[in-house]
Structure 1
Amino acid sequence: MNAPPDQLGPATFRHDLVLHSSAEELAAVAVPFLRAGLEAGDSAVITINDPAAAMLRDALGDDERVHVVPRHEVYRARTPTAITAVRRLVERETARGRTQLRVVGETDFGRTPREWLEWQRYEAVVNEAMRSWPSWGLCAFNVEELPPELVECGLRTHTHLVSAGGRRPNPHFTEPADYLRALPVPDEPLEATEPLLQVVDAKDFAGLRHAVGARLTQLQGSRDALEDLHLAIDEMSANAVRHGGPPVQLRLWASADRVVCRISDGGSGMDDPFAGYGPAHGDDLSHGGMGLWLARQLCDHVDVVDGRDGLSVRLTTLLR
């Protein structure tokens, strides 16, 4: 049996999962979930695809506290911006005097396993990133449409399961840090080819920046994407010099569809699987700590490899 809202403790983040195979099955769970929130003084956001979104909105009637938000406005191209988008929604509604925000969401995992990985990470990271935010998420996973790997992700990253029979602890839930560490870092075939640029012991940061820029300007593709990548490489190179240990190495590869850069250092590494999903020092940006956070927003894929020989950050940008 579900506990009444006032018996669930302080209004902090809850991350629930509903597995369904149709819009009707989802509505049977999501409508009571949202109605209970409205009765408790919460507001609601629906960010799922039609026809389920329309079904939920119609069932809840004309209530100004219910907002339908297009999926692409929440689940944006880069995962840190999705976290920021949800936080802004919570801030907006709590500023209006709401107790918390209830969200029925449907993650857009993308089309390829490489895209899936970023959102698999997101589903785990959000448990930590939203921990102190007064919100309650009900994530909808369609078992008829999602591949088994992503259904498994849902089971590993949500603390509770919800069905028409009620809400219960999820026995498959894995601590987010453990789940993130267990996710594989995919191979990048370009790294087995001759790099466009290789620096084995970077000491001249200005010279390194110029050398990278010269190679990037020779490539075909979106100028904006390449400029974003250049900024991300600058940030990661500066981090390696400032926080890592020598030697700082950089290798750059390119193909017709993507550019890959790996920055490595010989320091003691960084055992923080949540790094880069928000500024290291919170909203006070004057203390720095934004490098990896910016890189995750500027590049399509960011992989952090903490090995015995130091830390490597691999940046990938698609040449759209």
Structure 2
Amino acid sequence: MTQSDEELHPSPHQRVEEQGYRHVGHVLHPDQDLTVVVGPLLRQALAAGEPVVIACPEQVASLLVAALDGAGEVHLAPDQRSDERPPAVLAAIADLIDEQAPGDGHRLHLVTGPGGPDGDPAVSVQIEALLNHVLAERPVDQLCLLGPATEEGPDVEAAARATHPWLLTAEGVVRSPDFRAPEELLREVQRAMVPDPLEETEPTLAITDLDDMRALRRALNRVLADSALSADAAQDFVLAIDEVTANANEHGVPPVDVRLWCTPERLLCAITDRGTAFDDPLVGYGPAHGDMSVGGMGLWLARRSVDSLTATPADDSGDGCTVRLVVNAG
């Protein structure tokens, strides 16, 4: 079945009538003229009176601005760094959209990327998948420029198809045939991260049947003072461990055990209780309600303080819950 012309080239009226977030991916190629593919899409938006925001590296932003000269309302914004922790990137993009959204019934068009060559592909996949969840209600079209693809690197094309419901091609915007739900992708990434190899070694700190949170904090501060973390990073790590441990005590089943591994490159804390592992990899990527005094913000705070947070059954039988917090020291 071939797609109709309306599907390939949605009219301005169709775009305005669409509700919520429209996530479009495009993989760059070395021999491609970016403005030939991207320019028509953005010109169509500008012709409909819809603002365009470009938040790309300087070289890419300059090309797009020149191509759109005189076409309409184009704004430049800081490049949204994809090498930051996913919660920080997600929050920055959401804030940018909220600042720039026209608020008059029109949609905002945001162009981001590409990320740097040294970015972690697994982190990029998480961010792109989570955008579909975190921004679901925002009236915005986001065009993510990805790559460029290389023979030696990860399969950027496959990642783009899996994380973007829509793809920008030479024929226009088409639906991705391989798009996967964010929670499905995140579960797959999470399964690949556990168990952590550090767990095969002797922990730096081990506390079984935790019954004194203040004693835990003192022990953590003592151990982390000699770690590769800066004072601020160590304080953030203690905060994350404290939040997750408090959550295990309140919502899990005791006893609660805490194990910490410290190496010059990375630190891992595994917190285990005897309850049921929560099976929602999307939880904690946005504040539960925005009122810090009410509570219920623990996972959101923890995710913002570490490089990785995963929750899985504690053993193969499915009994217990282990939450692993990882901080990269480099």
Same fold (TM over 0.5): yes
2:307 counterpart of 1:297: no
- Residue 182 of structure 1 deviates from its aligned partner by 2.1
Residues in 2 aligned to 1:303 and 1:237: alpha-carbon distance in whole angstroms: 14
- Residue 10 of structure 1 deviates from its aligned partner by 3.0
Q: TM-score, normalised by structure 1?
A: 0.89
Look up the equivalent residue of 1:255 and give its one-letter code: T
- C-alpha distance 233-68 of structure 1, shift in aligned 2 (>3 A): same
Per-residue CA deviation, residues 152-199 of structure 1 (Å, 9 max, x unaligned), is: 221111111211211211111112222222223325332211111111
Q: Mean Cα displacement is larger for which, 29-38 or 131-140?
A: 29-38
Q: Equivalent residue for 2:233?
A: 225
- Residue 53 of structure 1 deviates from its aligned partner by 2.0
2:124 counterpart of 1:116: no
Q: Equivalent residue for 1:313?
A: 323
Q: Contact between 1:300 and 1:318, CA under 8 Å: does it hold in 2? A: yes
* Residue correspondences, number: 316
Q: Mean Cα displacement is larger for which, 187-196 or 139-148?
A: 139-148
Look up the equivalent residue of 2:13 and give its one-letter code: D
Residues in 2 aligned to 1:176 and 1:221: alpha-carbon distance in whole angstroms: 31
Q: Contact between 2:85 and 2:304, CA under 8 Å: does it hold in 1? A: yes
Two-structure CA RMSD over aligned residues (Å): 2.4
- Residue 83 of structure 1 deviates from its aligned partner by 1.4
Q: Equivalent residue for 1:136?
A: 141
Q: Mean Cα displacement is larger for which, 133-142 or 25-34?
A: 25-34
Q: Percent identity?
A: 34
Q: Mean Cα displacement is larger for which, 86-95 or 235-244?
A: 86-95
- Secondary structure (helix, strand or coil) at the match of 2:33 reads helix
2:113 counterpart of 1:106: yes
Q: Equivalent residue for 1:167?
A: 173
Residues in 1 aligned to 2:207 and 2:240: alpha-carbon distance in whole angstroms: 17
Look up the equivalent residue of 1:120 and give its one-letter code: V
Q: Contact between 2:209 and 2:257, CA under 8 Å: does it hold in 1? A: yes
- C-alpha distance 31-23 of structure 1, shift in aligned 2 (>3 A): farther
- C-alpha distance 30-78 of structure 1, shift in aligned 2 (>3 A): same
Q: Equivalent residue for 1:185?
A: 192
Q: Equivalent residue for 2:88?
A: 81
- Secondary structure (helix, strand or coil) at the match of 2:101 reads helix
Residues in 1 aligned to 2:132 and 2:71: alpha-carbon distance in whole angstroms: 29
Aligned residue among 241, 247, 254 for 1:239: 247
Look up the equivalent residue of 1:289 and give its one-letter code: G
- C-alpha distance 234-63 of structure 1, shift in aligned 2 (>3 A): farther
- C-alpha distance 181-85 of structure 1, shift in aligned 2 (>3 A): same
- C-alpha distance 251-56 of structure 1, shift in aligned 2 (>3 A): same
Q: Mean Cα displacement is larger for which, 220-229 or 3-12?
A: 3-12
Residues in 1 aligned to 2:217 and 2:298: alpha-carbon distance in whole angstroms: 15
Per-residue CA deviation, residues 40-86 of structure 1 (Å, 9 max, x unaligned), is: 22222222334332110111126783223332x45361111211111
- Structure 1: 5+ residue stretches without partners: none
Q: Contact between 1:240 and 1:265, CA under 8 Å: does it hold in 2? A: yes
Q: Runs of 4 or more off by more than 4 Å in structure 1?
A: 95-98
Per-residue CA deviation, residues 212-271 of structure 1 (Å, 9 max, x unaligned), is: 122112324411111111111111111111111112111001112222111121112211
Residues in 2 aligned to 1:90 and 1:310: alpha-carbon distance in whole angstroms: 40
Q: TM-score, normalised by structure 2?
A: 0.87
Residues in 1 aligned to 2:307 and 2:260: alpha-carbon distance in whole angstroms: 16
